[in-house]
Structure 1
């Protein structure tokens, strides 16, 4: 009987792992989101994995062995519970599939400040400092420029620590 499992892949080798697993008849899923980034001064959309270095796989261990999946190029290992690969609930996978690139997710991304916008940090270790928003750093963090001892320093802070001026 087929079950879902979670694999940890080698750095930046998710796509290689998916291609090689697909050749073995293993169904793969790694959720991706569209992210807006500024490269060379221009805004561009790119597609990035929601969970970098992780791939969900769906297979029957009696047909394809754990060893052959684990030994696939690009794969580091299974996420385990003790010595056995941890099974992932089907509902979780289907919910991820249904919500991938949802309107709500895009709305949350659009709420981030614009690059160059001046902000005041409301919480955290840099509380009270004025900062200039640079770019998003993942789902819940942002890069900011703050002025420490007369020199601009780029730091990563939680998005919840931001307060627009």
Structure 2
């Protein structure tokens, strides 16, 4: 009986894992989001994995063994619960598939503050501290420059923990 499982892939080798797993007849899915980035001074849109390094696979372990999947180039291991690979609820996967292309799930660089902009942290360990926005650190975090003991320190904080001054 086929089930969805979660794999951990080797660093930056999700595409390689997909190609090799497809050859074995394994259905693969890793949700992606469109992100606007500044590359070589120009704003460009590109797709990035929503969960970097992770991929969902759909297969029957009686037809293809766990060892075969785990030994595939680009794959590091299964996410496990105890000794057995953890299954993922199909509703979660189908929900991700349906929401992947919706506008509200698109991450845009314009929603981030501009580098050098002064902000105030509203939550977390740096609550109440004024900071200077540096750059995004993935989709949910940002690098901020804060002043600790008279020295500027670069820290990574949750995006929801900042508010513009």
Output the TM-score relative to the length of structure 1: 0.88
CA distance in 2, matches of 1:38, 1:19: 29
Map of 1:41-80 to 2, 5 A cutoff?
Answer: 41-80=41-80
How far is the alpha carbon of 1:32 from its aligned partner? 0.8
Summarize the Cα distance change of 1:87–1:123 in structure 2 as closer, same or farther, 3 Å threshold.
closer
How far is the alpha carbon of 1:74 from its aligned partner? 1.1
Summarize the Cα distance change of 1:132–1:43 in structure 2 as closer, same or farther, 3 Å threshold.
farther
Does 138-147 or 109-118 show the bigger shift? Answer: 109-118
**What are structure 1's unaligned runs of at least 5 residues?**
none
Aligned to 1:6: 6
Aligned to 1:106: 106
Equivalent residue of 1:76, what SS? strand
Map of 1:17-56 to 2, 5 A cutoff?
Answer: 17-56=17-56
How far is the alpha carbon of 1:50 from its aligned partner? 0.7
Summarize the Cα distance change of 1:114–1:66 in structure 2 as closer, same or farther, 3 Å threshold.
same
How far is the alpha carbon of 1:40 from its aligned partner? 3.6
CA distance in 1, matches of 2:148, 2:44: 31
Summarize the Cα distance change of 1:156–1:149 in structure 2 as closer, same or farther, 3 Å threshold.
same
| Structure 1 runs (4+) greater than 6 angstroms displaced | none
How far is the alpha carbon of 1:109 from its aligned partner? 6.3
CA distance in 1, matches of 2:147, 2:73: 45
How far is the alpha carbon of 1:46 from its aligned partner? 2.2
* Equivalent pairs, count: 165
**What are structure 2's unaligned runs of at least 5 residues?**
none
Summarize the Cα distance change of 1:90–1:13 in structure 2 as closer, same or farther, 3 Å threshold.
same
CA distance in 2, matches of 1:145, 1:87: 41
Instruction: Please list the CA deviations of residues 22-66 of structure 1 after superposition, one character each: whole Å capped at 9, or x if unmatched.
Output: 111111001111112233443222211111111111111222111
Output the TM-score relative to the length of structure 2: 0.88
Summarize the Cα distance change of 1:102–1:110 in structure 2 as closer, same or farther, 3 Å threshold.
farther
CA distance in 2, matches of 1:53, 1:69: 16
